[in-house]
Amino acid sequence: MAGRMVLGSALAQLVRPASEMDESGAHRLLPVAPELGGLLPNRGLRRGSTVAVGTARSASGGTSLMLALLAEASRAGSWCAVVGVPALGLLAAAEAGIALDRLALVPYPGAEWPTVVAALIDGVDVVVAAAPDGVSTVVTDRLAARARQRGCVLVPYGAWTGADVTLQITDGAWDGLGPGHGRLTRRRLTISARGRGAATRPREIRVWLPAASDRFAAVVAGTPGATTVTLVDPPATATPRAPLTLVGPSAEPA
C-alpha cells in the first residue's frame, strides 16, 4: 500500500491526469503517422480506447510498430509510458521520433505490474503495457475500464483479450541481399487491424522500414498509386523530426 501511494504521488507531481486535460471533450484523438492512421477507425488514438500491438509467431517487428504508434502523439506533446518491455532502449525510442523528456520506462515492474500500470493510466496520455504471464482477464478488464474513465490510451503489447483494436504484424521480410552478396537495406512488414465497433472491418497495410537509412516509408496494401509517406529521422541530438514530406508513388523522396 505504501509503495502504491508513493508511486501515485510521484506521478501527480510530473503530469496532470489525462482526464483533466480533456474536460471539454475536445482533443479526443491523439495523432498517429498518416500510414498508420488507415488502420484505426478514427485515424488516430482515441482517448479511453485500448489498442493492442501483437506479432504473429512467424513474424517480428512488434517493437518498431509500437514505437511508430507512439511517435506522433509524443511529438505533439503527449506523455507516454512503457511498462514491462526491458529490451526497449532510449536510442530506439529517440530514433522513432519519441520525445525522451516525455517518456517513462518501467522495464521491470515485478509483482506490482497491475498497480504500476493503473498509476500510470491515471497520469499519462498513452501507456504501453506488456502483461506478464498469468495475468487474469479480470485484471486486464479493470485496467481497460480505468483507461476509459481516465481518458488514457492503453496499448497492450502482446496477447490481450477484448481490445478495441488489435494491430498485428502478420508477415515480414528483409530486402537487399542477393545470391551471396549485398546488404540488408530495408524491411517490409504487413500489419493487419481488427477490432470492435467501428473497427470491425479488417484493414491491412504494408510498411517498409529501412534498416540503415534515415527514412521510413509505407504504402497501403492493395491501393493502386498509393501515396508514399516519408518520415525524416532526427539528428543525433534526438530533437523532434522534421515535418512529414508527402511524395507521389513514382517521385523520388526529397
11 belongs to a structural domain? no
Question: What's the pTM?
Answer: 0.71
Rounded CA separation 139/114 (Å):
7
58 belongs to a structural domain? yes
Give the model's pLDDT for residue 60: 65
Q: Look at residues 166, 189, 214 and tell me which one is the last residue of a structural domain.
A: 166
Give the model's pLDDT for residue 76: 94
Give the model's pLDDT for residue 27: 65
232 belongs to a structural domain? yes
Q: Tell me the average confidence (pLDDT) per consecutive run of 10 residues in the chain, 254 residues long.
A: 49 48 60 88 93 72 88 95 93 90 95 96 96 93 96 94 90 72 72 79 73 40 36 36 32 35
Neighbouring residues of 230: CB distance < 8 A, sequence distance ≥ 6: 215, 216, 217, 244, 245, 246, 247, 253, 254
Same domain, 78 and 202: no
Q: Using CA atoms in the order 226, 51, 92, 185, what is the torsion angle rounded to 10 degrees? A: -30
Same domain, 115 and 238: no
The closest of 222, 152, 161 to 194, measured between CA atoms, is 161
253 belongs to a structural domain? no
Same domain, 161 and 179: no
Q: Look at residues 166, 200, 224 and tell me which one is the last residue of a structural domain.
A: 166
Same domain, 144 and 191: no
Domain hosting residue 130, numbered range: 27-166
Neighbouring residues of 142: CB distance < 8 A, sequence distance ≥ 6: 114, 118
The answer to whether 150 touches 122, Cβ cutoff 8 Å, is: yes
Same domain, 79 and 181: no
Give the model's pLDDT for residue 62: 84
The closest of 105, 113, 110 to 79, measured between CA atoms, is 105
Overall domain count for the chain: 2
Same domain, 79 and 135: yes
145 three-class SS: helix
Give the model's pLDDT for residue 235: 36
Same domain, 101 and 68: yes
18 belongs to a structural domain? no
Q: Look at residues 166, 191, 210 and tell me which one is the last residue of a structural domain.
A: 166
Could you tell me the CATH number of the domain that includes residue 70?
3.40.50.300
Give the model's pLDDT for residue 10: 53
Same domain, 90 and 213: no
Same domain, 37 and 146: yes
